Amino acid sequence: MADETAETPYALAKRLHSQGAAILEIERALRERGLDEDEARIAARAGRGEAGFSLAVATPGAPQSQPVELPSEPPAETPTHPCPLHAAWPVVGTCTRCGKFFCARCLKDAGFVRAPESNQCPTCEARFPHVQGIGGWLVLPALHVTLVGPLSALVGLGQDAMAVPEVSGPLLAPVVVEMLANASYLALAIFAAIAFFQKKRRAVPLMISFYTAAMLLAVLSLVLTGWIESIAGTPVGEQNAGVQVGRAFISSLVWIAYFAQSKRVKATFIVP
């Protein structure tokens, strides 16, 4: 079953119509998604192709053509499919989010010089700016999951592997625990990176898990250091280890919040 939380209202209406749902059921489902009564009615009609014509609807993430320059005057002839708001202007698109039909006059009145690449109506373009793709702040998590995290885990694994032959007895246990933790973190980073660059929906929970694991690994490192010091009877950790754990927590919490709230994240990771 499709993930309804990742569907636009128009896509939800279209899917429910294809499944044979009644128009009232579709409108009720749209109102449950936050649309008001008028918006739900328009999106439900658009989803089942009402308005006497059909238009190609752009798919988020698909390559877009060059934005079209908007005309300054309506056509001389009466349009076959007039805009619901401006009868002299022909419809130029169907909003990919709410399903409303709009014309060049709608766009110009909203301050647009060219048609938006998102193929959204002016209202949705203003409320939900279309930012998509691995860019902006999303570049930093891309570096974290492909370079910083895996390299840190590999360095830790290498140090643990070299330490295993040198330790024995009680000291072996914390080294083995740290080795297993680093191996698990590396595996999680690989899975998250693959989903990330494939723009899969599961990349979002995987990235949140990746940053959560980074916090847990920082705490575990501090605990293991204290464990080894209690066995060896000598200090082996850095004096500012607590500060480093605090930095790891702050950084991870910031990125967890980013993946939970970012509009770019929600528009980018849409592949089932």
> Do the domain assignments include residue 57?
no
Residue 194 has a pLDDT of: 96
> Do the domain assignments include residue 217?
yes
Q: What's the rounded Cα separation, in Å, for the pair 259 and 110?
A: 30
Both 164 and 241 in one domain: the answer is yes
Residue 142 pLDDT > 90, yes or no? yes
Both 187 and 239 in one domain: the answer is yes
8 Å CB contact between 43 and 33? no
> Do the domain assignments include residue 55?
no
Mean pLDDT for 203-214 is 95
Q: What's the rounded Cα separation, in Å, for the pair 117 and 111?
A: 15
Both 262 and 142 in one domain: the answer is yes
> Tokens 């280890």 correspond to what residue?
241
Both 142 and 202 in one domain: the answer is yes
Tell me how crowded residue 166 is: count the other CB atoms within 10 A of its CB. 9
Give me the domain span that covers residue 248: 136-268
pLDDT in tens, 27-66: 888 888 777 776 677 677 665 554 433 333 333 333 344 4
Residue 21 pLDDT > 80, yes or no? no
- Report the mean per-residue pLDDT for the chain: 80
Amino acid occupying residue 98: C
Both 261 and 161 in one domain: the answer is yes
Mean pLDDT for 193-212 is 94
> Do the domain assignments include residue 194?
yes
Q: Answer whether 0.75 is exceeded by the pTM.
A: no
Residue 62 has a pLDDT of: 38
Residue 48 has a pLDDT of: 55
Both 231 and 109 in one domain: the answer is no
Residue 250 has a pLDDT of: 93
3-class DSSP string for 186-232: HHHHHHHHHHHHCCECCHHHHHHHHHHHHHHHHHHHHHHHHHHHHHH
Q: From the CA atom positions of the chain, what is the Rg in Å?
A: 27
8 Å CB contact between 149 and 142? no
Which of the two residues, 55 and 232, has the higher pLDDT score? 232
Which of the two residues, 44 and 266, has the higher pLDDT score? 266
Joined tokens for residue 9:
């209202």
Both 31 and 154 in one domain: the answer is no
Q: What's the rounded Cα separation, in Å, for the pair 195 and 175?
A: 31
Residue 180 has a pLDDT of: 93
Mean pLDDT for 15-26 is 76
Q: Between β-strands 91-94 and 101-103, what pairing exists: parallel, antiparallel or unpaired? A: antiparallel
Tell me how crowded residue 89 is: count the other CB atoms within 10 A of its CB. 21
Both 80 and 170 in one domain: the answer is no
Given 128, 160, 182, the domain boundary residue is: 128
Both 142 and 248 in one domain: the answer is yes
pLDDT in tens, 60-119: 333 344 445 678 888 888 888 889 999 999 888 888 778 888 998 999 898 888 777 777
